[in-house]
Chains A and B, each alone.
Chain A
Amino acid sequence: MTLKSNKEIPIGGLIDEAGSSKKFKTGDWKSFRPITDFSKCINCMMCVCWCPDDCIPTEGNGNDIKRKETDFSVCKGCGICANVCPVKCIKMEEEAKFLK
């Protein structure tokens, strides 16, 4: 990635496109990733609510609501989901195992 010169960037450090933070894949930062055993998950939504980065998508509504797999492109591996899970179905495992 070549860095730009002072003539190629907007003034005053302006970021001139909307939603650009979506391009920044903070998932690269993690050293551990949360692995969920969906057979044990009771869909209590604790992990969904506590995740500081909103990494866990859901489907359905009301009593039918279910969590989906963690979005690992943004999950930073903080471990809060594993920590708050009341049935301990989330385990933090070394990220290195999942890389090529």
Chain B
Amino acid sequence: MKVKALTGTGAGAEAMRQINPDVVPAYPITPQTAIMQKFSTFVADGIVDTELIRVESEHSAMSCAVGASAAGARVMTATASAGLALMWEIVGVASGLRLPIIMAVVNRALSAPINIHCDHSDAMGARDLGWIQIYSESAQEVYENMLIATRLAEKKLLPVMVCQDGFITSHGVENVEIFDDDKIKNFVGEHKYPHALLDIKKPVTHGPLQLQDYYFETRSQQIPVMEESINDYLKIGEELSKITGREYKLFDKYNMDDADVVIVTMNSTAGTTKTAINRLRSEGKKVGLLKLRLFRPFPYKEVAEALKNVKQIIVLDRSVSFGANPPLLGEVKNALFDVKYEGLLHSGVFGLGGRNIFIEDIEDLFNKALDGKLEKSFYVGLRE
């Protein structure tokens, strides 16, 4: 094991190097470009055996991924924001065709206005397309989530996207533990796609038309498979734990056991929340964090179990769903409905377009909640 100073994109590229995919279609977009750039140096230096295909757009990147994956290749790619939006049509195709494509999504705000910075609108906009979604707090988690994603995708025959905060994680250098190539190669294993176009002994056709008579049956197959993925995710995580010593649960509980107020959030803001919690705990205040890792499939039962007795919950979303509850709030509310939650549920929207959130902002939310003065729904850092 080596400790390296890596950005989130660098950590993603390291994971890709160790996974050694067969095909990577590459198209650049800020802030993911560095993943493809770094990986392409591995290709050029002959460190990986990957066929790197430079395509003309993200729509082509996902189309290429679908073709290669259907052929039987292990396929990885990366995108963000407008790139994910451009490939949206084919993103749904990938899951509909049950292709185990792994994609790093570096969360960046959707246009308009044009913005290159972090928010979750891109991945959230694609949350109904049938991809498994794993969110990463740090470069270390990006590295490990990519490894889990590969095993999970190939086990369930569902595509997986691994998310990280644009610029904050993608461009932030941190110390990252990179494990031995052999151990990881062993963990990731070989890819044997059971319906490969290139397997001439078992000829298949991918991607037919299905009208009112069969579309429903085909699409509905994905539903239980997605739900079962929760258990597979946990099992695969346990295997990785043996190598890394870290745990890969559906969510991390930080100081939750006796917390009067719990923040629920994802990605890097969870880290900042931990610092705020440390400060408040040293003052004797009982506050905690539920950091969600797996967003799709959403672990309703487990989240409800963890939150049902918490007096006050603050869900912090880094995206909005115009005309409805913000995505994470909506799911948490759903979960809590089933357990007849009787506490206070607050909803905060923050950080759109890369608007910073500070440790002091989070301390403020906790303190207001503890004083019974926190609004039901609010924005953090917005000039209203």
Contact = CB atoms under 8 A, between A and B. Distances in A.
Q: Do chains A and B touch in the complex (CB under 8 A)?
A: yes
Interface in A2-25: 3-7, 12-13
Interface in B111-133: 112-113
B384 interface: yes
12 contacts: A3-B383, A4-B383, A5-B383, A5-B384, A6-B382, A6-B383, A6-B384, A7-B384, A12-B112, A12-B113, A13-B112, A13-B113
Interface of B: 112-113, 382-384
Given A5-B384, A6-B384, A7-B384, 9 more contacts: A3-B383, A4-B383, A5-B383, A6-B382, A6-B383, A12-B112, A12-B113, A13-B112, A13-B113
Contacts of B384: 5-7
B255 to A, nearest CB: 34
Contacts of B112: 12-13
- Name the residue in B382, B383, B384 with the highest tally of chain A Cβ atoms < 10 Å from its Cβ: B383
Nearest to A4: B383
Nearest to B115: A13
Contacts of A4: 383
The DSSP consensus for interface residues of chain B is loop
B294 to A, nearest CB: 33
Interface of A: 3-7, 12-13
Nearest to B383: A5
A21 to B, nearest CB: 16
A4 B382 CA distance: 10
Contacts of A3: 383
A29 B68 CA distance: 46
A98 to B, nearest CB: 32
B46 to A, nearest CB: 37
Nearest to A13: B113
Contacts of A13: 112-113
A7 B112 CA distance: 18
Contacts of A7: 384
B349 to A, nearest CB: 13
Nearest to A12: B112
A6 B382 CA distance: 8
Nearest to A5: B383
Nearest to A9: B383
A5 to B, nearest CB: 4
Contacts of B383: 3-6
A12 B382 CA distance: 16
Nearest to A7: B384
